[in-house]
Amino acid sequence: MNNPTGSHRRDRTHWLYLAVIVAVVAGILTGWLAPGFGKSVGELGTMFVNLIKMMISPVIFCTIVLGIGSVRAAARVGRIGGMSIAYFLVTSTVALAIGLGVGNLLHPGTGLNIHEHAAAAAKYAHQAEGAGGTWHFLESIIPTSLLSSLTAGSVLQTLFVALLVGFAIQALGSSGEPILRGVSLIQKLVFRILSMILWLAPIGAFGAIANVVADTGIGAVKQLAALMLAFYLTCLIFVFGVLGVTMRLVAGVSIFRLVRYLAREYLLIFSTSSSESALPRLIAKMEHLGVERSTVGIVVPTGYSFNLDGTAIYLTMSSLFIADAMGKPMSLGAQVGLLAFMIIASKGAAGVTGAGLATLAGGLQSHRPDLINGVGLIVGIDRFMSEARAITNFSGNAVATVLVATWTRTIDPERVRAVLNRELPFDESALTDDHGTAPAATSPENPPEIPEKKDLIPA
């Protein structure tokens, strides 16, 4: 209170996110007015997203090991994980149903001729062939070695090894505490590196947006505006209607306040078109919100592979769009069968570049090969749709964390109220310290300490 400028000096990321907004606008203008240059800087966006992905495995590993290693009862971890998977399956089914309803109501693809785009679908169909079946998916979870799980870039492999290490440390008891302290120090190092990478966000956002606009052009975007608009509206209905109402009824938390709390993460996702870019920050903010570390460490990483609500809606509407655009509409039975296959296949494709298009092509190739050529049309607008897809996936995981924590009583309602009312603001510098975590135990026997209100409100 006595140093009003101190808080602004600490929160330097305020200028970072303003710079991201400026970079996005500049990227749009560059891609439109100078398409040649816009295409040439496209790799900047790819490089930035790759830098973020480089940090995903270490962040997940440290978070899960610290979360599980500090919990004495292994059954509690299993209960949280089982409840999370069950919830993910329910929400994915609801997302599919909403996508089917909107797609059948609007028919956005009717009247289009898309045969000229057939060649563009070939590489995605080929990519989908490598996804394999169920056994291939299960086999891919086991890494080649213990350390390769941190370098292969597979979220599921990292999750698997982190669970093993966490339970092993848990079984060691007090003798495993030095290991936990070591992992905690490594975690601080990881978040320090991450904070350095995030300062490159404006450069990455500029390159990515400029490249997209240069490739598709303003005219191409307008041509497919109906599908994009319908998809965005469907995502909004799902997030604020289904997820928002559910969270209000179960946890008493407003979806609007949660969205405001995660505003910077939404901007980062929109600029990079990847929900993975905000995964480390979501972990930090959910812990700061008052959710116990073990719950965050299980629900968030698992959700990034299994809770793909936006992808489910995307697959639904894209399939119906292609069928209508080619004059070969699908019956309701064919829709249910095809999309049930796709939502299962999308679990194995999570984290793979072009996963949405690859899964779409793979599903059509298996069930309706006569529609596979239509995937090429989606290529032109996939980047614009992927932003809403990523934001919806991210929202679903944030809400899932709050709901599962409420059901398992691993959340402190008073802290949630204080954080969402801006009485306990998230300290951006915490990402380089203890990443904004709430105390590990939030049970009634050991509730988190909330500073007095006078210490929380900046001048």
- What is the tens place of the pLDDT at every residue in 12-55? 656 776 787 788 788 888 888 888 888 888 888 778 777 877 87
pTM: 0.64
At residue 248, the pLDDT reads 95
What single letter denotes the amino acid at residue 159? L
90/81 Cα distance (integer angstroms): 15
Q: Give pLDDT < 50 ranges for the chain.
A: 1-10, 114-119, 220-221, 348-354, 432-459
324/317 Cα distance (integer angstroms): 11
At residue 160, the pLDDT reads 84
- What is the tens place of the pLDDT at every residue in 399-432? 999 999 999 999 999 999 999 998 988 877 656 4
Architecture of domain 71-154+218-443: Orthogonal Bundle (1.10)
Q: For residue 197, give the nearest of 311, 319, 47, 330 by alpha carbon.
A: 47
Where along the chain do its domains lie? 71-154+218-443
At residue 281, the pLDDT reads 87
